[in-house]
Structure 1
């Protein structure tokens, strides 16, 4: 956080320095583009193959095969969720929120992809539908489905308040992965990572640059749907903050379930499509 009053005087050319034009770090024009038309055609004839109901202040894991769809829906009331993704065959390949943010922006919507960690750096999933795409960026700079926050966790909560609250999303995701993969909690915790904050409305304050949250615009029936580019394990936590209008990491907020539904396209609907291969960079070049 910047000091309220600078400790150093501005130089004579301060305004000229501030006026330098911004440059987009990673221009999107050369990113591999998803074939949304193909995905949507496949989704149109897809059949439901299963569902997982995530209880309030808890998390559940689920699996989605490459070429299938997962829909996350609000049911019962306004609720945000924290989503982790891993390769079903290698937990070390997991969602890389920081690189996804650098490639697509602070908040995701239809057509954006969720990229995996190094050395793989390939699309894990593509967002194919978002009923909150109308929200855009509000007057406070807030938007939905962010990849700027981390996840509520007991360590930060203990640091700031001294409260050892253990139904934070970090703890919920840890337990969900441990149960799903029959792992010790310590081993599962090491795999839990920064999230896609599904339905959460967030941004940065313009004066101090601090991360903020505000009441989510999500309502029952809203959904975010992803296409699995590779075989995935997902874990979703229904945040103990509910719609995050006041706080999180407590039992005070009204919380509701989240529903995950899995859909499989009919045979032949994805003819010609293949899961993306791992990144083509040869690591031996840098050694």
Structure 2
């Protein structure tokens, strides 16, 4: 059955992309001439750094588009980035700078998200995918209270950006020797206060309330598939199927 694509970076700098096309597995090997290496936010500016292989045609700009609104920033060569054989590596590096105020000027309030489409614009005016380098670091940046700018990747390893309500993000999952699944992530600010964690079955809509540890903007949830909590009675194994994890206000649906 179809699922998310998987990207693996190979030793020679190529990318192995495994996915699904209709009813068949698709395997693609890419060697991107240009990749986005980093994204930082400081002093009211969002700075993207792209690296180009020696001899590659370099895009002229980075385009950020949301609906009918678009912003372009030229890619300018970083000082000391020649990509020559005598340099630290074989890449030339360029940067594009955007005003954070302009990007977020029409940011909605509340629970709405505002996704941006990010592309590299060639000299021919055509858009190219903004593929991410292997060591690209995703992140989030606070905006107005309860809002954030998210910088992340999709399943094909492309740069994604969005303004959205502050939400929990899972960044680590491990399974202990005893078979316990440990889910960890970030939930900054006051949004995590007075929250509970719910595990819900995708078809049966059965729910389990799980204990959660929250400290210093991070959370930890421990799931024991063979001993899940019940509303009453002894712990029982989770039934087969897909289970989804939610944060919910502790007083949600409380009519008292």
After TM superposition, the score normalised by the length of structure 2 is: 0.26
Structure (1 or 2) with the greater helix fraction: 1
More strand by share: 2
Higher relative CO (Cα under 8 Å, sequence separation at least 6) belongs to 1
Larger Rg: 2
TM-score by length of 1: 0.24
